[in-house]
Every structure is written in structure tokens, then in C-alpha cells.
Amino acid sequence: MSKTKTKTKAVALAPTAEALELLKESFPTEAGYEKTLLPRLSMVSQDVTEGKGKLMKVVTEAGTFFKENQTEELNEEGKPVWEKTELGTEIEATVIYSRKQLKYYNEATELYTSSPVYDNDDEVLPLFCDKKEIDRGTVKELQAKYPGTTLAGKPKSNLEVNRVLYVLYEGEVYQMNLRGSSMYSWLAYSRKVLPPAVLTRFSSEAQEKGSIAWNQLTCETVRPLDADEIKDITAKVTEIKNSIAEEKQFFASRNAQETVVEYIKKEDEEDFGEF
């Protein structure tokens, strides 16, 4: 008589209240400087087309997600080549950290004005354009120098506060930049959940305003993370915090302006679109 072997299925344990509290304490509003360039996650907010008139065709639909990884190959300018991979119109990932950056694009000059990634709104930040420091002040002070109006005629600043997220996707940490309606969609979602404690489904929905059409990011909780996943996330958050501390010590030990300029140069060279 043969014996039947039975397999015991591993049961995912729910995280303890203490583990969740520790994770909550380790998830600040923003992060700090980052030495290395992380691989990137992005979403096409508007259809990408080729050709004109009757010959025009959509080559990439709005709402399509991509990941970009830096390769060892260099282009003609000696800059790293990024490999871009299409992921479809929906991804599941965990946001483990968040930070901010000031940014403004001048359509007339085709130049970006931006700050380094920062932690708190009361910090005195340098502002750069064309790889040169052009101003310095708090977020409120700098934004006041770039007045603008909304489509409804209400006052606003053209120097936007963008969100930069660290996202764990398929075991690797990526950087995701958010602005505009997609950023506000994320902020509304993040107020309802503890982002590092849940697996989030990112997709999008079509939006229209006048003649402008785009896809706005949407966020939905798939499930809470289990105890082992929480432990792994907490370890990654600790690594990020340690990296931030090391980076700030590095900046403090050298000429601050020279160091930040080099950081901005690197960031400008690898600039990529937000959605």
C-alpha cells in the first residue's frame, strides 16, 4: 500500500501592531538626497502618435506604464543608455518612501528650473536653471517668484511641487515622479492608507478638460502586506534612511554649492517626464 505525501501550505502571517507602528514611524513625508540613479517607473499620460492627418497612428496608448533601467552602454554623448520596457496599463507595487522637488518648465526657452529633492518646506533650497544656481530660499519664497493662474483664473505658482516616490516593483526599488492630477490622485489615496503596508494597483482613467485629454493615475489597494513583507519593507526603508544620512554628511563635508551643482547636473542629464 503506497503512502500519500501531503504538502503543508505556508500560511502568511499578519503583521503585528508593533511592526505596523514601526513602519509608520519610518515612513516620513519626504526623503532626502540620493547618490545613485534608480531605475524608473513612468506612465504615458497622453497618446504617443506618429505621422500626420490620415496617416497618423497611435504607437503608445495613454495609460501605458514603462520601466527604465540604466545599462552599461553609453550613447554618442557618453551618457548611459536606458533600456525601456513596456509593462501594460496596470501594475502592482508598494510605495515605500516619498519626497518632493520643485520644478518648472519654460516652454519659450525649453529649459527646466528645479531644486534638489528636499525634505521639509521650511528648508532653504537652491534653485537651478541650465545647470546654474539662480536663486535660493524656502519653498514659499521661491514659489512666490513664479506667479501664474489656473485655467479657472485663480492664482497659483508655476514652480510646481512634484512628488518623487520610491516604489518596490517585482523586488526592485524604482523611482516614480508624479505631478498634476496624477499627483493629487496619489495624495488622496495615500491619506487613506499607510502606503508601505499595502500592495497597490496602479492604473489610470481618461480625463478631459476642454480640448485637452489625458489619463490620470489611479490607485487601489490590492491587499495588506503580511509580516514577512513588512519586515522586508522596513529593512529597505532603513537602507534608504541610512543612505540619506550618508549623503547629507557628504554634502556637509564639502562646499555645499559645488556638491549640489554636480547633483543637479547629473539629474538634468537623466531628466525624464512625470505624469
Q: What is the DSSP letter of 260?
A: H
SS (H, E, C) 44-88: CCCCEEECCHHHCEEEECCCCEEEEEEEEEECCCCCEEEEEEEEE
Q: What is the pLDDT of residue 220?
A: 98
Q: What is the pLDDT of residue 211?
A: 87
Q: Which domain holds residue 43?
A: 29-269
Q: What is the pLDDT of residue 76?
A: 87
How many domains, in total, are found in the chain? 1
Spell out, as residue ranges, where the chain has pLDDT lower than 50: 1-5, 29-34, 255-257, 259, 264-265, 268-273
Measuring CA to CA, how many Å separate 216 from each of 68, 115, 180? 20, 25, 9
Q: What is the pLDDT of residue 33?
A: 41
> Residue 7 domain-assigned?
no
Residue indicated by cell numbers 499607510:
194
Q: What is the pLDDT of residue 28?
A: 54
Amino acid code (one letter) for 120: N
> Residue 20 domain-assigned?
no
> Residue 5 domain-assigned?
no
> Residue 1 domain-assigned?
no
Q: What is the pLDDT of residue 241?
A: 83
Contact 199, 220 (CB under 8 A): no
Total-model pTM = 0.78
> Residue 158 domain-assigned?
yes
> Residue 227 domain-assigned?
yes
> Residue 18 domain-assigned?
no
Q: What is the pLDDT of residue 32?
A: 40
Tell me the C-alpha distance between 160 and 100, whole Å: 10
Q: What is the pLDDT of residue 37?
A: 75
Q: What is the pLDDT of residue 42?
A: 96
> Residue 91 domain-assigned?
yes
Q: What is the pLDDT of residue 268?
A: 46
Contact 244, 32 (CB under 8 A): yes
